[in-house]
Structure 1
Amino acid sequence: MNFERGTTNRAREISLKWISENLTDSKEVISLGLPEYDDRFDAWRVPLHHQNGKKVHLGEIKLNNQAESIVGFTEVSLIKERIKKIKDHKPEKAQKRRKTLFQPAAIPNQVILGNSLNVLSDFPPDTAQLVFTSPPYFNAKPEYSEYVDYQDYLDFMGEIIKKCHEILSEGRFFIINTSPVLIRRTSRNTSSRRLAIPFDLHVIIEKMGFEFIDDIIWAKPEGAGWNLGRGRRFKADRNALQYKPVPVTEHVMVYRKKTDKLIDWNLRNHHDPQLVEDSKILGDYDVTDIWKIHPGHSKIHPAVFPDELAKRVIQYYSFKKDLVLDPFGGTGTTGRVAQKMDRRFLLIDNEIRYFHHMKNYFEQLEIGGRVDFDIHESFQIK
């Protein structure tokens, strides 16, 4: 739709008049955002911001398709409540801005046997430029990991996430692959229990200083989850209330370390512009938030994610030469793929079998650069 040159100005004028009439006591702290035409609703929208330096969103004014009259707006009482909340909030002490990104420390590829809570404490800020991991699923596979109770598991994960936040570079990404877990029933007279792990972890991750960006769905081929037994009873009986779909998806949850800087800042202030250029994604890419990938398999580990999943995450969310951290290294998928994609890696795991598996793999490579192997002082044989 074509608009005359003065449409934007008219939208501003009408919006300012509405503010003067309806928010008289607060008009000095309100500024207008850029008026934009919303083609889905054939209307103009004018954002309202608070002039506190951060342009906190207060609401919006909606005008007709020619920006001639107001057809909707955020409730005045809600706008006033948001202004009051900002006024009552004590501003945090301003932090000194960095003019440029710190050049990543020259940390070589490392595989460490030990408890991640202890190991990560040894590393300084800006160690990692991407965290990608798939944590243990609470008591889903006892041979892999067991916790006292679900809260114990969540508390443990919270501590790990906090440590990752401390050593992740500003504005960089924390990506975690999880899915709901079925806790099998203990007897025929009890029900199984399904834990919404991704959603419980989401609350914890945000509290630890990360901003939610995306929830990418990893979709496996139909039938991939049939071995779990979920849905078999419904297939046989077809009774209402018994329906349970076979799970063939997992959540790849994407977060960014909170910062007042846009992602462009990470691009413009990178210590090596050529690496930014060399890391561009060329050719086909995933347009939607559904990634169709076959699951991974391992005779050593009961819950590996596929190389292809790691490849996409590393390609989309890091630059070449960045260090990729996986605090639950497992059999080394993240490190193996990172190395192939010209990234460095830091893998940590507390299971000696996986440590030896990773050590054997990387030692047999003829190329790929130096890899250090270390047994942390915190390691204890189970």
Structure 2
Amino acid sequence: MFSRKSKTKKPNEIFTPKAKDVNERMYISRERLEKHLKRALEGTYHIIVKGDSGTGKTWLYKKVLKDLDVFYVVINLAEANRLGSIAKAIISIIGSDLPPQNIEFSETMKAKGSAGVVGGQIEHTKKFAVLQKDLVEECFKILRKKAGKKICCLIFDNLERIFENSNLMEELGDLIILLDDERYAQYEVKFIIVGVPTEIKEYFSKTRNGNSIANRITEIPEVSKLDRNQVEEFIKLGFIKELELNINEEDVKKIADHVYWVTFGIPQRLHEYCLQLCYAYEDNDWKIEDKCLTRADQFYLSSNLYSTYVKIEKLMNANETTIKRRDQVLFAIGSLDKDEFKVSEIEQIVRREFPSSTSDVQINASQILSYIAKSQEAPIKKANHGNAYIFVDPKFRMCLRIMLRKDKNEKIEKLPIESIS
């Protein structure tokens, strides 16, 4: 019997998905990325930090900025999207120390409808633009004063919230160019742009002033998932070091294999799943048994993937269907390790995994994939090139891996969640 030595730490203190602050006890070092970011911070360019959702971009930059004792303020670009202006978002976050100023008087003028006001309205709009720039400069001045002699950064997080908004992207580009102006350069404020889109620099290169913007920014390598060994390190840190569970090496590897398979090594998903695994062990009196992994799967489906689970249920074959080819294709999709796949690859997996029902028959994988891609809230879509598909929702593949099981008779079974208490 394996048990827990100490009960002083709670599972939700160790596994902390979406935590605002870096959980230093569970932080897995990414030396290569950290080195690139540190060197970029010591350089003269503005910085792009890119990577899929949940891969740990925020923890990465916060860890490095803390190590270098950098002063920084975060601007959530969702706020800029709401306000319709990045400058307004900067002012709303940093400018609280500024004296009250009437920066909306142009809107007041619009209420006056006489013909003689039109010229004045245009004039006031110009004054408004100048005044707003002055307020942005005042914000930079505040940042530099608070930073002292430290490196000073303004973090623009969640770039994906404005990436399709050409006006806000152009404004961001203008701000990047503006910081080279002597008037603003004196404050030595460096931008760090954080987001999901991978073609950020390429986007700027195609805009007005594209070369000017592209020449002022640098990208660090993409922040991606953890590898299998890092996941095992994560398991040992959380379950053995922090929660003080007695787990032998064989079980550690078994747990790590399963967790890596389910989560793809995505840090946020690791924290989410391992929290549920903790609860499964707790319900089992902290005994480390294989059934706890299945229980954790059920917990995770219920708490984190329920809506995705329901969508997949709707895509599956009816119970009375004999062959259930659609279920086989869904199972094959879940086994993929890459984000883009071809019809031929799915067909190969289906034939390999279900030989007794695919010998000398057509699978019609192309038709089934097309059906899935045209479904409501489709989890996959056709790629822009060739006979290929890409994932729209990363949770779809994760849910497939947990939800669908193949028995010894090549029958697809669905892991139930309705019985979870």
Scaled by the length of structure 1, what TM-score is found? 0.24
- Going by fraction, where is strand more abundant, 1 or 2? 1
- Going by fraction, where is helix more abundant, 1 or 2? 2
Scaled by the length of structure 2, what TM-score is found? 0.22
